């Protein structure tokens, strides 16, 4: 939905020559993926996120040496022209720093997942720290990802049809998926600010295409999350369920899930710190695992929305659905 224009900026400051490798991210409102009004809303969410939420998140991270380990790229300018409805973000060029998106929607490996959940833990932990310190929670400061019920319903119907065509013998699983893919209920859950469940700022769209990874000799060493157009204020396990169901293989899901969730939990507590009592500090690993299993239904919902267009069904996904069914949440 966007065009990326790379450019270099060179100048002199205080007698020292400086250069920056940047990109301008420009919205293409002619995209056919969703209606123009929805695209404009998506842009407003990301502009608001970079302009308002990120500076506040950085303010509460001042105690920690985040530097290059911060979970998203630097954004130097973000604005929307209300007349022409053109939006632009000027950001650091991650490609020139060695970051890239995995080609052909390849699933993330165990080590790549470890890095990604660490980035999510940083986001979730800092947003919670900000809520603890501020009189006004993020849920009241930010605008969140807009969802058009007709568009979501159309995508879900297409995804279910694609699943049925790929696995015609899985009639029981299809019937179960049809029951849980309840568009009004999911949209109500996303918008519910009075839920007793612990809520933090979520990326909301954390899958392979929005994850840029840096490698050293083929080993992943850093990660950045991009495209913040559908941020949500929901339980932290929403992001995790989305990530697992949309971005990794059956082997990683089945054999490395516990280690990855334990790493997320550890990184979350590292981000929270020890000197600031909060509800999230008492969030145990077992509670995390229980919430993850419950919210895998949201991960399925998110995968089905994308199934007809990009994330086509495969045997790995089928095995994940079968496993989740055994948990009793599907």
Whether residue 45 lies inside any domain: the answer is no
pLDDT confidence of residue 321: 96
Instruction: Name residues of the chain where pLDDT drops below 70.
Output: 1, 28-34, 62-68, 82, 193-194, 274-277
pLDDT at position 64: 59
User: What residues have CB less than 8 Å from 302, skipping those under 6 apart?
Assistant: 207, 241, 242, 245, 246
Q: Which CATH number belongs to the domain containing residue 280 in this structure? A: 3.90.1200
Tens of pLDDT along 203-240?
Answer: 999 999 999 999 999 999 999 999 999 999 999 999 99
Structural domains of the chain, count: 1
Q: What local confidence, expressed as pLDDT, does residue 32 receive?
A: 57
Tokens describing residue 240: 């995790």
Instruction: Spell out the SS3 assignment of the chain.
Output: CEEEEEEEEEEEECCEEEEEEEEEEEECCCCCCCCHHHHHHHHHHHHHHHHHHHHHHHHHCCCCCCHHHCCCCCEEEEEEECCCCEEEEEEECCHHHCEECCHHHCCECHHHHHHHHHHHHHHHHHHHHHHHHCCCCHHHHCCCCCCCHHHHHHHHHHHHHHHHHHCCCCHHHHHHHHHHCCHHHHHHHHHCCCCCCCCEEECCCCCHHHEEEEEECCEEEEEEECCCCCCEEECHHHHHHHHHHHHECHHHHHHCHHHHHHHHHHHHHHHHCCCCCCHHHHCCHHHHHHHHHHHHHHHHHHHHHHHCCCCCCCHHHHHHHHHHHHCCCC
- Domain presence at residue 25: no
**Residue 109 · residue 208 · CB < 8 Å:** no
Q: Does 16 reside within a domain?
A: no
Rounded distance between C-alpha atoms, residue 177 and residue 186, angstroms: 13
Spatial separation of the C-alpha atoms in residues 19 and 33, rounded to whole Å: 36
Strand 211-216 and strand 75-81: the pairing is unpaired
The contacts of residue 218 (CB under 8 Å, 6+ apart) are: none
- Residue range of the domain that includes 116: 94-326
pLDDT recorded at residue 33: 62
Residue 76 lies in a domain: no
Residue 129 resides in a domain: yes
Residue 275 placed within a domain: yes
d(CA 300, CA 289) in angstroms, rounded, equals 17
pLDDT at 114: 98
pLDDT of residue 149: 83
**Residue 193's pLDDT is what?**
66
pLDDT of residue 276: 64
Is 21 within a domain?
no
Domain presence at residue 83: no
What is the reported pLDDT for 1?
64
């Amino acid at each position: 939905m966007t065009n990326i224009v790379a450019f270099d900026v060179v100048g002199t400051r205080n007698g020292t020559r400086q250069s920056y490798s940047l990109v301008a991210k420009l919205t293409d409102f002619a995209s056919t993926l969703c209606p123009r009004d929805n695209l404009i809303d998506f842009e407003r969410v990301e502009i608001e996120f970079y302009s308002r939420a990120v500076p506040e998140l950085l303010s509460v991270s001042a105690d920690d040496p985040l530097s290059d380990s911060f979970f998203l790229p630097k954004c130097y300018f973000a604005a929307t022209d209300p007349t022409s409805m053109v939006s632009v973000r000027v950001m650091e060029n991650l490609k020139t720093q060695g970051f890239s998106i995995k080609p052909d929607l390849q699933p993330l490996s165990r080590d790549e997942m470890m890095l990604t959940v660490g980035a999510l833990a940083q986001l979730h932990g800092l947003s919670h720290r900000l809520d603890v310190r501020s009189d006004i929670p993020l849920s009241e400061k930010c605008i969140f990802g807009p969802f058009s019920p007709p568009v979501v319903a159309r995508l879900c119907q297409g995804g279910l049809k694609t699943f049925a065509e790929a696995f015609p013998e899985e009639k029981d699983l299809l019937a179960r998926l049809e029951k849980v893919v309840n568009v009004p209920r999911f949209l109500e859950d996303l918008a519910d600010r009075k839920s007793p469940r612990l809520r933090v700022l979520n990326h909301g769209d954390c899958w392979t295409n929005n994850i840029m990874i840096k490698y050293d000799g083929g080993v992943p060493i850093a990660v950045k999350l991009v495209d913040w157009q559908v941020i949500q204020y929901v339980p932290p396990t929403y992001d995790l369920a989305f990530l697992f169901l949309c971005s990794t293989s059956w082997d990683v899901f089945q054999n490395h899930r516990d280690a990855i969730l334990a790493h997320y939990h550890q990184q979350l507590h590292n981000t929270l710190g020890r000197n600031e009592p909060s509800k999230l500090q008492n969030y145990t690993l077992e509670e995390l695992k229980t919430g993850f299993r419950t919210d895998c239904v949201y991960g399925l919902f998110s995968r089905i929305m994308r199934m007809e267009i990009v994330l086509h069904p495969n045997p790995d996904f089928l095995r994940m659905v079968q496993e989740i069914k055994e948990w009793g949440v599907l």
